[in-house]
Structure 1
Amino acid sequence: MAKIKTKSKLFKTKKTFVKKKKGKDVKKPKVTQKETIDDSEDVMNDSQRDDMKPMDSSDDNDSDYDDIDDYKKTLDKLKEKDSEFYEFLQENDQQLLDFDVNDEEVEEDEDNDENEDFDTKTQDLSEKLSVKTIDKWSDKLSEKADIETIKSVVKWFRKAVEQTSGECDGKLMSADVFNSVINICLIDLLPAIQKCLKLPPIDSSQWSNDVKSIDPTKSRNWKKMISVMKIYLTDVIKMVGVVTEMSLKTTLLRHILYLIPFLKAFPHLIKRVLKQTMTLWSESDEKNRILSFICILRLVRTQEQPMISFILKKLYLSYIKNSKYMKDSANQTTIVFMKHSLVELYSLDPVVAYQHAFVFIRQLAINLRTAMTIKKKESYKSVYNWQYLHSILLWTQLLCSHNSVDELKPLITPLVNVIIGTIRLQSSPKFFPMRFHLINALIKLSDETNTFIPIFPFITQILDHFDKLKKNKPSNDEKELNLDLLIKVSTLNTNDFKFRDAVIRKIYDLLLYYLSTQSHVIAFPELVYISVVKVRKFLKRSHVIQHNQLLKQLLDKIDENSKLICDKRRNVDFSITNSPAINSWETDLKAKGTPITSFFKQRNQIKVAKQLLHSESINNDSNASASEPQPNDIAFSGTTASHKSNKSNKRKFNENKTLDKHEEQEDVFEDKSETKRTKQSKKNKRRVKNKEKKRQNQNVSFDFNQTLDISSDDSE
């Protein structure tokens, strides 16, 4: 606070003097109101710079108020002497006239006093609290909404939070008291607050669906509860960040869902909640991630556009940060969940979605352009990585799920150009997995947005690279190669038979997927002509029976679908230029179905059944290994298959395998005095058994194409 001294000269206007020149009077110059105001302001500014000095710390509050009274008296004199200048101050600088003590400091002092009261009272009552008193509090809260009881519960909840965070200086609560305090806050406190403020019941749909309609600030008792609610909300948010047990964190997140109407009254606390939920959304387990997403969704619905843009940008960056590596299928499911939840949040504001998509797609295009111009390994790495791919997949999912939004339609063309440019950047076989991901995104984008994209050349070009590869090498790994979890492979693995087999099966899946989206088009025979020619040329060069069976089956379905389209076209009356009639004809045929679409659906059902069987077999193997009493014991578990005969044969094969292992262990622990002849006889026995195993393996070989042939016969 500064002392304000006023002078009478401050508010005097300039005087004009009469000058005589050659015996004649000179007229007085007129002074306008604006000049007097400017001059008086200049005088006031100079005087304030000279006279206003900072107060010493030894000054009392009484002197401050005396200076304020003197200042108000000078303003009253100014009103009497120069009313026009006083009106000018009222219009332009009202705060100068309505000078008062700073209210924010007073509010902060009140909050600090309340916090000090909370701390002192909890320290005084720390020795007296027991489970019986907490039970009495719960009975009071259930019967009648008592504000004093609510305050005492909130005080002890703060004590529990301090104990959890390690900030408690006094005596610690026992485990029973701690649990009962947490339970009364999470179960009984919120219904009591709802009764006290006369809000809708918590079981109603307004608390889950229509949060905006609930406004506790309109209640009469809100002024009594505002300090208690502020302290309770800060403690709950702090508890979520401090607790390490996942079950308690889950219950706290569910509790926060019902506290969102109260958080609207404290905007600074909303930022804290968002910070906690964003970290849990990207790093926690499945339950907490889902609850965090629901909290973010409900909070975003209550915010305005600038805040929504800030939140979505933070979520996008955390999504890109977590998608740097693809370790296993569990990591893949978390990234897919984050992608779908981000798309759901972007649907709340299409304008923000367009702005973010435009900026980040442009960034992808810039990285692609630098890679195309520089052509070095470092520039290629900026494009061929998981973060770049998942960014493309996110915007593809956004445009596919919200294809009817007019604001997002202009983004289809730049995104397609970025995807096609990324495919054409590198044609090396080691980047085939990345190419498959991008082709799948193009097919999905073409199908959902109803835009034609020439995708067949990008699929059939892969077949031309098989002639350039070296001879097939036998693979040592028994695991199947999952291309969905890869973006590139080493150059040595490109010559592996497993890689070639996985590539052919992926080409088959992509061709079938794209054909199912275009099978109802009136120009289907002309559309597939070039790709059919390339596939037939590959069949002449290929010598692998399984690959030839797959592609021949696909060609048969293409021929069947082409005959259907040609037969339907013969009975058509409209011309080629009549686009509305062509669109109606294609929609009718799509609704009825085509041979390729029915075959594609059956293929997907078989795929899903195979994945379920595979997951069940993994769970059974893990349970069997967990139940083993000794490490040397071997669990007998048969491999899963669709036919029972194959199952039993494979089990016998595994049993023979285990018997051989037992015999090897017996050989190790045999007596050292055993002669060489007995060892040689055992080796001969093993050779005979190995030959038998090879024969059984040839008989037991299960071909996945058999199921496809069965399904195709059924469909015909």
Structure 2
Amino acid sequence: MSDSDAEGDYATAHSDALKRLKSKDPEFYDFLKENDEELLKFGESDDESDTRESEDDEQTTSKSSKTVLSAAKLKFIGENIKTSPSKKLVKELINAFKTIIHQIDNSNDKVDLSNNDLFNDVMKLCLVDLVPALYSILKLPADSKNVDVTKSKAWYKTKTVVKQYLIDVLKMLAALKEPSGLVLFLKHIVHLVPFYSKFMKLCRLLLKKMITMWCCEEETVRVLSLIIVVRASKRLPKEYMGQILKHMYFSYVKNTKFTSPNTWPMINFMKRSLTEVYSLYPEAAYEHAFIYIRQLAIHLRNAITIKKQEAYQTVYNWQYIHCLLLWAHVLCRLYDQEAVKTLVYPLVQTVTGTITLIPTSKYIPLRIHLVKALIQMSEKINVFIPTIPFILEILTLSDYNKKMSFSVKPQDFSCSLKVGKSKLSEAAFQDSCMSEVNSLLLEYFKVYSHTIGFPELALPAVLQIKLFIKKCKVAKYNQLLKGLLTKIEENSAMITEKRRSVSFQITDVDKIKQWERNIQEQGTPILKFYKEQNKETVDSSPSKKAKCE
């Protein structure tokens, strides 16, 4: 019998055995199909030599993992892999790295890595020289971010050993604890993304690990993890993006349960970065925003209907508030998408409903956070949101003429949703309330200071502020509001004077917008006052500014 006939008989027998396996043990057959599809296609592929060579690579890797590393061997690899990289050198380096993994896992008693220099040498060679060597062997442009490794004819001959290295990299990533080591390794993984993207299961494991690091590690680690998530997701089919973004959103929610000055920068980073990832996939952003804003609205409706403490707690907590702030940020970022615009109204209704759910002085900090989100949406999306009543209501929620107890420290609302009962009777609470009212009114009127209808918009606020000043007996509160009131009236007078000289009709929308743009470019009294106040705030309390931004 000839060799070819023998191979044919063996392939036939192998195929029959796999068919029996499929009927007797379908779960194991599915596992083989997912992890070793080439084995199932034995005898059917046109490129059998590549398959046999991959099997040889696997055996070589297994054997090499049991050898003892030596300094001379590593020196030889290091001297040659830069100048004349070859498939054999890459295999030996990957096998050396595998030896380290066995040592970490305590799964190979024959490994001798008592010398730390050997460990450092292997790590240095992998982090610095391995990826350039792989690109050289595969004859691919090393400077291309969108390189496709499968276009190389040599890919299928190196695929097995590369896959083993990628698996070992994930094991090493799980073993590293120090941020400095993680940073170096993540920089290496950034360059391995084109390889991970060709193994779907490994890529998903990598993304899962990166999302975990993105939301709970040191700042540089979080940034590098985000870069890997973005680069890897761009290489995956679009149907996987929904799962990735869903995982990121749930990680965001999970890590916003507790908010403090220490955790606020991380939460802010997650909110901004998740918004940027959503902006890359507007369709997924609309789908998720629709589902989760609706979910938030249902929780609010239940709280309004049931009117019990448990129902209120599902709304008045940091996770719920941070979700509202996130979607406000996402809509501001994607406001130019027509589909996303339709979600502005339900989100605004949910936010305003949350503000008015328990309108008491205890939850003034929560109100302030949400009012800031509404003002931001007004400015970015260019849509009118009547926020003034929610700001001025703070002036009626507490008796500012009542004599309050002395407090040593001022109350900071930036990282709190409610005020304790004992704090409500302190003078610092009312000081903070008045400061926030002044700041929010200035933020709000700054957005509309150039609009043609500003005098009519400001009139109710002017009347209510004057009424409060008339009733309030605390001089410092009156002085604070009088300064803002002067600028509002000055701005109204300027707009009124400018309107007298217009020649277009009130129905001419285009000319009105052009007129408002001209006024904005010239500057308004409130806009100038806002810039002065903002500069003073930054100069007087830079630490607070840095902490919350």
TM-score by length of structure 2 reads: 0.89
Match of 1:385 in 2: 317
CA 67–166 in structure 1, closer or farther in 2 if over 3 Å, else same: closer
**Count of paired positions:** 513
5+ residue gaps, structure 1, are 1-60, 72-99, 617-716
What SS is found at the alignment partner of 2:65? helix
Query: C-alpha offsets along residues 209-240 of structure 1, whole Å, 9 cap, x if unaligned?
Result: xx2xx111111221221111111111112211
Matches within 5 A, 1:67-78: none
What SS is found at the alignment partner of 2:153? coil
Match of 2:104 in 1: 164
Matches within 5 A, 1:390-539: 390-467=322-399, 471-475=403-407, 478-539=408-469
- Identical columns (%): 37
Q: CA deviation at 1:104?
A: 7.0
- Partner of residue 179 from structure 2, selected from 238, 246, 257: 246
Matches within 5 A, 1:189-228: 189-201=130-142, 204=143, 206-207=144-145, 211=146, 214-228=147-161
2:210–2:226 CA contact under 8 A, matched in 1: yes
CA distance in 2, matches of 1:227, 1:472: 74
2:401–2:474 CA contact under 8 A, matched in 1: no
- Partner of residue 588 from structure 1, selected from 506, 514, 518: 518
Match of 2:225 in 1: 292
CA distance in 2, matches of 1:579, 1:117: 75
Q: CA deviation at 1:165?
A: 3.1
Query: C-alpha offsets along residues 464-521 of structure 1, whole Å, 9 cap, x if unaligned?
Result: 122389531222xx33211010001122321211011001100000000001001011
Match of 1:553 in 2: 483
CA 225–354 in structure 1, closer or farther in 2 if over 3 Å, else same: same
Match of 1:103 in 2: 41
2:58–2:160 CA contact under 8 A, matched in 1: no
Matches within 5 A, 1:277-356: 277-328=210-261, 330-356=262-288
1:470–1:495 CA contact under 8 A, matched in 2: no
Query: C-alpha offsets along residues 640-669 of structure 1, whole Å, 9 cap, x if unaligned?
Result: xxxxxxxxxxxxxxxxxxxxxxxxxxxxxx
CA distance in 1, matches of 2:213, 2:283: 27
CA distance in 2, matches of 1:399, 1:308: 19
2:12–2:43 CA contact under 8 A, matched in 1: no
Match of 1:702 in 2: none
Q: CA deviation at 1:455?
A: 1.0
Counterpart amino acid of residue 120 in structure 2: N
Aligned CA RMSD, in angstroms, stands at 2.6
CA distance in 2, matches of 1:512, 1:472: 27
CA 158–581 in structure 1, closer or farther in 2 if over 3 Å, else same: same
Q: CA deviation at 1:64?
A: 7.9
Name the stretch that deviates more: 257-266 or 180-189: 257-266
CA 393–104 in structure 1, closer or farther in 2 if over 3 Å, else same: farther
CA distance in 2, matches of 1:521, 1:305: 43
CA distance in 2, matches of 1:459, 1:67: 75
Between structure 1 and structure 2, the one with the greater Rg is 1
CA 598–168 in structure 1, closer or farther in 2 if over 3 Å, else same: farther
- Partner of residue 576 from structure 1, selected from 486, 506, 526: 506
What SS is found at the alignment partner of 1:573? coil
CA distance in 2, matches of 1:545, 1:171: 79
Q: CA deviation at 1:66?
A: 11
Match of 1:138 in 2: 78
CA distance in 2, matches of 1:105, 1:158: 31
Counterpart amino acid of residue 91 in structure 2: K
CA distance in 2, matches of 1:484, 1:555: 25
Q: CA deviation at 1:449?
A: 0.6
2:82–2:133 CA contact under 8 A, matched in 1: yes
Q: CA deviation at 1:386?
A: 0.5
What SS is found at the alignment partner of 1:339? helix
Task: Pick 1 or 2: higher relative contact order, CA cutoff 8 A, min separation 6.
Answer: 2
Counterpart amino acid of residue 197 in structure 2: K
CA distance in 1, matches of 2:11, 2:56: 25
Counterpart amino acid of residue 550 in structure 1: L
